[in-house]
Amino acid sequence: MIEHATLINGRPTDCLSHRDRGLSYGDGVFETLAVIGGRIIDLDPHLSRLRSGLARLSIPAPNERSLRDEIMQLAAGEARAVLKLIVTRGEGGRGYLPPATVEPTRVLSLFQWPDHPERYHLEGIAASVCRLRLSGSPALAGIKHLNRLENVLASMELGDECQEGLLLDGEGSVIEGIASNVFLLTGNALTTPELSRAGVEGITRARILDVATGMGLQTSIKRVSMNDVERAETLFFSNSIIGIWPVRQLENRSYGLNDRVRRLLQAVTPGFNPAAN
C-alpha cells in the first residue's frame, strides 16, 4: 500500500479542520469502494449515488474530474484495497444552519482489504437480530449519509460468533444488515426490503437485482417481516466489499445455500475466485 494513503481536497495529509461540518453534524455522505487490481469496482454507480446523496442534502458536488483523478491516484497499483470517499459540506461556524457559501471537503483514504475467511462465502455466516431498532427518517432514507450512530450501536451488540446483524425498524419491518443490505430467496422469488423510511440503497443491492432478473428470478422490493425471514429458504447480506455473504444461521434458524445464491455470489463478489479455494 502506498505510504500516504489519504488525500484531503487533493493534498496528501491527515489533517482536517475541527470546524468541518462532517465532524460537527455528520453533514455529508460517503462511499466505500472495492479496489481490485488497481481498478475500482462499480465506480460509476458509486459516484452517481454520491451525487444524488449530495443533491438530497443540498451540498454542491465536487468536480467530477478531480474526484476521479484522485481516486485513480490512490487506487493505482493496489492489488486489493478498500477506498473510502467522504464528502462533507465543508467548514462552518457553530450552529446547524450552513453558511451561505460552502466549500465541500473531500477525503479519500485507502485501507487494507479485510481478511474475512473465505468460508463466509462458501459456507455462510452466523447472524443475529439486533435489539436496536432503526428510526424512520424519510428525509435521509436510502442515502449513505455520515450519521451512522445506530450502526455503531448495533455493531457493538454483535457477539464474537456473529458476523452480521439484522436491523428492523420500530414497526418490526426488516430493513437491512448493520453494514449491508439483506435478501430473501425462496424458489424463484428474490425479495429485498423497501427502504423508503430507513436503510441505504446499496450499489451491490442494485447489481444483485439486475443479475437476478437476468437469471430469470422474480425480484421484488417490498415490506419484509420477521415471519418472511423465518419462512425464507435462503437469506444473504450484500455490500461492496463482501459481495454476498449467505447466512447459515440466524438466531436459532438454519438456512441452506443453493446454486442460485452461488451464481449471484460469483457475479457480484469482488475478486471472488472459488478455484483458488
> How far is residue 201's CA from residue 180's CA, in Å, rounded to a whole number?
9
Give min distance, CB of 233 to ligand PLP, in A: 23
**Does the footprint of ligand PLP cover residue 28 (CB under 6 A)?**
no
88 is catalytic: no
Return the number of the residue (34 or 232) whose C-beta is nearest ligand PLP: 34
Applying CB under 6 A, among 27, 164, 169, 176 the residue interacting with ligand PLP is 176
Reduced to 3 states, what is the DSSP secondary structure of residue 123?
coil
Question: Does 243 participate in binding ligand PLP (rule CB under 6 A)?
Answer: no
- The reply to whether 31 belongs to the active site is no
Are 277 and 265 in contact, with CB atoms under 8 Å apart? no
Q: Applying CB under 6 A, does 32 fall inside the site for ligand PLP?
A: yes
Q: Which three cell numbers stand for residue 256?
A: 441452506
CA distance 259 to 83: 31
DSSP states of 167-228 = EEETTS-EEEETTBEEEEEETTEEEEE--SSSSB--HHHHHHHHHHHHTT-EEEEE-B-HHH
Residue closest to ligand PLP when measured from CB atoms = 202
Q: Which is nearer to ligand PLP, 92 or 198 (CB)?
A: 198
Q: Assign residue 172 a region: left if phi > 0, alpha if psi is -120 to 50, beta otherwise? A: left
Identified catalytic residue from 78, 91, 144, 204: 144
Q: Is 151 in the site for ligand PLP (CB under 6 A)?
A: yes
- Which one of residues 173, 192, 219, 239 is an interface residue with ligand PLP (CB under 6 A)? 239
- Please check whether residue 81 is in contact with residue 112, taking contact to mean a CB–CB distance below 8 angstroms: yes
Tell me the closest approach of the beta carbon of residue 181 to ligand PLP, in angstroms: 5
222 is catalytic: no
Catalytic residue positions, numbered: 32, 144, 176
Summarize as ranges the residues that interact with ligand PLP (CB under 6 A): 32, 151, 176, 179-181, 200, 202-205, 238-240
